[in-house]
């Protein structure tokens, strides 16, 4: 199988020769940035640099996907939020939202020409460049924020959490408008060549919201998005999600991705044998700070614990040692 075939068949629940080596989150790493002379802060605004960084992880290490974008501000910026790209700061810092733009649902104004709003054309330009260079060999992944997580990017977090309890109807109205935006962004990404889509609802984690709040406020919007965006889809929520894992399954994604905080054996027991489960090695403790000889056993344990394919519990930490990346890929390629 080609890497793309392997990824797509797995996400569709079809038989594969071995689990693909892929992720639906950020895979940009320092060894690639340094080899190709890419300045991280510029890669978020230049489609050529973004594509080169994503492609580099495939070429250098054998990843079977190329995933863009690299940061969480793309949708927020398209809605009018102001970004800080840390151009004058040394080291690797992800862009963050500097000025929020939403307080009420009426403040959510989806651009008429969404494909050319903010940095969306940077992302789609990178997707097209990846496809031109790699053809149909590699799967292109795209991620978007879930509605509650996106709300946290465009409005003040304290107000979002407080009003989620005091005035949930107001917040739900905002989430409804943001869901419209997310669906449209995925359609734009599909047209640019994205093969699979990850909905990252980090704000829905049980670390922040009770299972009851997740079910009443967030879940209905997530279900609607997953029903309407292109397939195949993956739902990812950070933190220990075993308290809401069956609710995540009910949201309707083709696969579920879980954080390293999950007891994966328990997760598999709760979801049963038929759910496509992706996870969940620790990208910091295992891949960034761990020893190369310990990487292989750690990632293979994920398969033993019930994952259909191994991928990190969150974005790869960029400053991953080359030898650890090589150990990760080597271990997974050994799986029959």
Side-chain-side CA neighbours of 328 within 13 Å: the count stands at 31
Bridge pairing between strands 277-278 and 255-258: parallel
Tens of pLDDT along 127-137? 999 999 999 99
For residue 270, being part of any structural domain is answered with: yes
Burial (0-12, 13-18, 19+ Cβ within 10 Å), 261: middle
Query: With 80 as the cut, is the pLDDT of residue 24 above it?
Result: yes
CA distances from 279 to 29, 92, 138 (A): 19, 25, 20
Query: With 80 as the cut, is the pLDDT of residue 336 above it?
Result: no
**What is the residue range of 143's domain?**
22-279
With cut-offs at 50, 70 and 90, classify the pLDDT of residue 140.
Answer: very high
What is the CATH classification number for the domain harbouring 137? Answer: 3.20.20.210
For residue 116, being part of any structural domain is answered with: yes
SS (H, E, C) 181-240: HHHHHHHHHHHHCCCEEEEECHHHCCCCCCHHHHHHHHHHHHHHHHHHCCCCEEEEECCC
Compute the residue count for the chain: 336
Q: How many domains does the chain have?
A: 1
* SS3 (DSSP) at 99: strand
Q: Determine which helix (DSSP H) or strand (DSSP E) holds 258, and give its type and residue range.
A: strand 255-258
Query: With 90 as the cut, is the pLDDT of residue 205 above it?
Result: no
For residue 98, being part of any structural domain is answered with: yes
For residue 101, being part of any structural domain is answered with: yes
For residue 303, being part of any structural domain is answered with: no
Mean per-residue pLDDT, 7-28: 95
Bridge pairing between strands 139-145 and 65-68: parallel
For residue 248, being part of any structural domain is answered with: yes
pTM value is 0.96
**Sign of torsion over alpha carbons 15, 18, 65, 97:** positive
For residue 317, being part of any structural domain is answered with: no
Residues 6+ apart with CB under 8 A from 134: 55, 58, 66
Kindly state the tokens that stand for 140. 């292109």
Q: In this predicted structure, what is the pLDDT of residue 207?
A: 82
Do residues 232 and 12 lie in contact, with contact meaning Cβ atoms separated by under 8 Å?
A: yes
For residue 27, being part of any structural domain is answered with: yes
């Amino acid at each position: 199988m080609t890497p793309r075939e392997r990824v797509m068949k797995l996400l569709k629940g079809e038989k594969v020769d071995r689990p693909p080596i892929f992720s639906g989150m950020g895979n940009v790493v320092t060894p690639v940035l340094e080899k190709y002379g890419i300045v991280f802060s510029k890669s978020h605004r230049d489609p050529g640099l973004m594509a080169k960084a994503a492609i580099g992880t495939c070429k250098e290490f054998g990843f079977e996907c190329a995933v863009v974008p690299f940061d969480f501000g793309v949708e927020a910026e398209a809605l009018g939020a102001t970004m800080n790209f840390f151009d004058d700061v040394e080291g690797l810092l992800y862009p963050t939202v500097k000025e929020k733009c939403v307080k009420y649902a009426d403040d959510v104004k989806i651009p008429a020409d969404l494909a050319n709003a903010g940095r969306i054309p940077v992302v789609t330009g990178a997707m097209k460049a990846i496809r031109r260079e790699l053809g149909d060999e590699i799967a292109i992944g795209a991620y978007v924020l879930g509605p509650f997580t996106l709300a946290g990017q465009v409005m003040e977090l304290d107000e979002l959490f407080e009003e989620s309890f005091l005035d949930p109807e107001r917040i739900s109205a905002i989430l409804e408008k943001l869901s419209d935006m997310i669906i449209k962004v995925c359609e734009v990404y599909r047209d640019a060549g994205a093969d699979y889509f990850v909905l990252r609802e980090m704000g829905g984690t049980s670390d922040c919201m009770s299972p009851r709040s997740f079910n009443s406020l967030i879940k209905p919007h997530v279900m609607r998005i997953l029903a309407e965006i292109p397939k195949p889809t993956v739902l990812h929520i950070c933190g220990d999600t075993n308290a809401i894992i069956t609710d995540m399954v009910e949201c309707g994604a083709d696969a579920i991705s879980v954080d390293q905080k999950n007891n994966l054996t328990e997760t598999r027991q709760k979801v049963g044998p038929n759910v496509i489960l992706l996870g969940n090695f620790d990208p910091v403790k295992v891949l960034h700070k761990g020893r190369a000889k310990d990487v292989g056993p750690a990632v293979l344990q994920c398969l033993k614990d019930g994952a259909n394919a191994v991928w990190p519990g969150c974005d790869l930490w960029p400053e991953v040692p080359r030898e650890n990346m090589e150990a990760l890929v080597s271990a997974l390629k050994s799986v029959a």
